[in-house]
Structures are given as structure tokens and as C-alpha cells.
Amino acid sequence: MTNHVETQDASVAGEATRGFTEILALYHGFGRGAQRIEVIENCEFKLKPGKLTVMIGPSGCGKSTLAKLLAGYLHPDEGSLLIDGRHIAGPGKDRLMVFQESALFPWMVNEENALYGLLASGQVGAGARQRVTALMDRVGLGRFRHKYPGALSGGMQRRLEMVRALVNEPALFILDEPFRGLDAMTRTLMQEHFAQMFEEGRRTALFITTDIDEALLLADEILVMSSRPMKVTRRITVDVPRPRTVAGMIKDERMKHIKVAVTKALYSEAIKAFDGSSRAVAAAGFEKFLDTTQ
């Protein structure tokens, strides 16, 4: 295990085989009787090891519920979730999650925050410390190692949370809209940062978003989700090499096609939220939007 932590090459080579995730005939809902809401209905998909899968869907469709099921905070009503063939029974370090909201411990200095997972399992050797130092330098937090999270900006906090998750080498990395609420500039930088970090140590990742451009920038594979009750409506492979940029995406023919496909799939789900005359208005607006992208 210690060797695994210290030699990065070995761990990178090992990543590709870890984190094969299967979601089978999944059902989940909240409430009882008349108050019952079905959130997930017969949802099935697989996450390929070493691939970045982006899950996109209308907001409020149940993506975060699925993330919590995967993390083990919730137990499914029916169906199974498996990682590398094992059932998910509760929270565990093989699946680490980065949330929408910051979950750094304000009373620990940043380095201690990053080391928390290793401290909790008593795995802190000199090698682990070096890795944290290297990762923090890598994401531009080197000077803030002995400061508290309160002194960091929103974007820096997000990066620190990623470092904290990454040093634990999870088999599956779950990111639930991690860049939501950041300003546009920081968000773009964070996306580039994240894509680069992913390329350097490919590990199975599920990235949840509502932003099409973000999905296209990052994904190996895109899962378009239906509105509630949620299931996968389309699965689109993005076989465009990284690094990708927003500017490059406008020129690239393949990217344009993928974007239209994702937009259409997403649109047919989003339109269900409108009714009657407002649906016609929304549809007209969408046609105009498609014209501009083609």
C-alpha cells in the first residue's frame, strides 16, 4: 500500500483497471403515500475504468441523489450499485466526492485538510506528505499550506478539495457540480486545471454538471439524463483528444455535431418542464438557438 502511494507511475498504470462502476435497475424515491416522489426509475449505466464520464441533465432531475447513492450516504430502494464487482454498502474511501458546497474543515490548516483522509486511516508517511506538497504546488496552493481555508478564495478552496480527494487515490472520483457558483473566469481555469489533472493520472471519474460546454470540455463520455424520474436517455462518446478549449470546440466539426446531439437530447427533456403555450414559446427559442450553432 505504501509503495502504491509513493510511486506515482505504478499508481497511474493501476488506475485504468480500478473503478469499474455498474448501476443496475436502480430505483429511488423520497416520502411516503401521497407525498411520495420517485426520483430515480430504472436507471442503468456503467462507468468505464479510467474514463471521465460527465452526467448532464435538467436541474433538479436527481443527479445529486444518484451521487449520494454512489457515495453511500443513501441506500437505494431497489437495484444495485457495484464498484469493481463489490456492492456499495456505505461511505468508503474507494469513492471520494467533491461537493457543490465547500466541505473543508475551517479549523485545520490547508495542508492538514489535504492530509485528512490519510491521517484518518493512519497512512501518513514522508511519501504521503511529499505527494500532498507536490499536488498543492501543482494547483498553485504551495504558499497557502500553513494558512487556514478561510484565507482562500472560492476557486482555491475547490482546488484544495480536489487535492484532498486525489491524495487518497479513490477508485471512483465523484464530482457533484464542483465549479458551480464560481465566476466565469475562475470556472474556465478550473475546468482546464481539472482536465489536465485528469490526464496526468487517469482515474475513473463521474462529473455532474448542468453546463453543456463544461461537459464537452471534460468528457470522455456524456450521459444525458431525463427529468424526474431520472434515467439515462442518451449516451454520447466524445472521442476528441485533450486539451480542448472553448475556442477550439467552435471550429471542430466533430465537436459541433456532439454539441448539437447533446443539446437536442437535453432539450427534449427540459421542454417537459414547460406546459401549454409556454412550451411553444420555448420550442421556438430553441429552434433559433440550434440555427446559431449549426
Partner 1 sequence: MGDVMQNHPAATAARKSRTLRAQAAAGARIAQLLLGFACAFLFWYLTVDVWQLPRFANLPGPSEVFSEWFSPDPIYGLSFYTPDYYWHILHSLARVGVAFVLATLLGVPLGLLMGWSQRVREYVFPLFELLRPIPPLAWVPLAILMFHGTETPVIFLTFLAAFFATALNSMLGARSIDPSLIRAARCLGAGEWRLFSRIVVPGALPQVFSGLQISLGVAWFSLVAAEMVSGEYGLGYLINTGYSMATYPTIFIGMITLGVVGYLTSVVIRLIEHALLRWGNDEQGGRS
- Chain contacts with partner 1 (rule: CB under 8 A): 71, 73, 91-93, 95-97, 99, 101, 103, 105-109, 116-117, 120-121, 147-148, 150-153, 164, 168
**Angle at which helices 110-120 and 154-166 pack, to 10 degrees?**
20
d(CA 148, CA 136): 14
77: Cβ contacts below 8 Å, ≥ 6 apart: 27, 28, 29
Our CB check for partner 1 shows the closer of 119 and 197 to be 119
**Angle at which helices 126-138 and 110-120 pack, to 10 degrees?**
140
Our CB check for partner 1 shows the closer of 95 and 203 to be 95
In the bound complex, what is the minimum distance in angstroms from residue 117's beta carbon to partner 1?
4
d(CA 105, CA 4): 27
Radius of gyration of the chain (CA): 20
Sheet holding 37-47, edge to edge: 37-47, 21-30, 78-83, 86-87
Cis geometry, peptide bond prior to residue 243 (ω within 30 degrees of 0): yes
In the bound complex, what is the minimum distance in angstroms from residue 67's beta carbon to partner 1?
11
In the bound complex, what is the minimum distance in angstroms from residue 114's beta carbon to partner 1?
11
Our CB check for partner 1 shows the closer of 30 and 105 to be 105
Our CB check for partner 1 shows the closer of 151 and 280 to be 151
d(CA 109, CA 201): 26
Our CB check for partner 1 shows the closer of 20 and 144 to be 144
In the bound complex, what is the minimum distance in angstroms from residue 219's beta carbon to partner 1?
24
Residue type, 86: R
In the bound complex, what is the minimum distance in angstroms from residue 280's beta carbon to partner 1?
41
In the bound complex, what is the minimum distance in angstroms from residue 146's beta carbon to partner 1?
11
Our CB check for partner 1 shows the closer of 119 and 255 to be 119
271, 283 Cβ separation under 8 angstroms: yes
The grid coordinates listed for 290 are 440550434
